[in-house]
Amino acid sequence: MEIASITGITTLDYPGELAVTIFTQGCNMSCDYCHNKHLVEVKKGTISWQYCIDYIRARINMIDAVVFSGGEPTIHRDLPKKIQEIKNLGLKVGLHTNGKGVVFPEVDYLLLSDPKRLNRFKARKVHISTIIKQNGEYHNKLTEGIFQ
């Protein structure tokens, strides 16, 4: 997994929880609305996984969760292993995804930009991207037949 950055503590990326967010590099799409276009291309990771784990452990008593975002985290085949490492620390796991990757791990919180791919995931809490909701015609096309 190529990692671009890791945030300090955030309250935005996992609603209701204090979290650290890991931003992966690489994406299998090029969405017009993407706010992380600089992460679409895979470059040599600037942060190692060991650095992320050490960073998280140092904040273990201050956070509730770790969120994987990007780019697109589900294009990285080692994502399920990384998620399990976080769960083994006793933390919840969130995932921000377009749902078109190659791995579909079980998580506690899912922010999904394409609701037609919801059946690929197991999650306790799900949100559909508000970016897509803001584009009414596009949102209606994506969600047609899903929520009835």
Query: DSSP secondary structure string, 56-124?
Result: HHHTTTT-SEEEEESS-GGG-TTHHHHHHHHHHTT-EEEEEE-S-SS---EEEEEEES-GGGGGG-EEE
Of the two residues 142 and 102, the one the predictor is more confident about is 102
At 147, the pLDDT band (50, 70, 90 cuts) reads: very low
User: 139 pLDDT exceeds 90?
Assistant: no
Of the candidates 85, 81, 120, the one whose C-alpha atom is nearest the C-alpha of residue 99 is 120
User: 37 pLDDT exceeds 90?
Assistant: no
At 38, the pLDDT band (50, 70, 90 cuts) reads: confident
Kindly list the distances between the CA atom of residue 119 and the CA atoms of 18, 96, 105, in Å, as whole numbers in the listed order. 27, 15, 12
First to last CA, the chain: 37
User: 123 pLDDT exceeds 90?
Assistant: no
Q: pLDDT (tens digit, 9 = 90+) per residue, 40-95?
A: 888 876 899 999 999 999 999 999 999 999 889 999 999 999 999 999 999 999 99
Domains of the chain: 3-143 (3.20.20.70)
Q: Are 45 and 4 in contact (CB under 8 A)?
A: yes
Return mean pLDDT, the chain.
84
Pairing of the two strands 106-112 and 19-24 = unpaired
Non-local (6+) Cβ contacts of 95 within 8 A are 67, 68, 69, 73, 74, 83, 105, 107, 109, 110, 111, 121, 123
Pairing of the two strands 19-24 and 3-6 = antiparallel
User: 7 pLDDT exceeds 70?
Assistant: yes
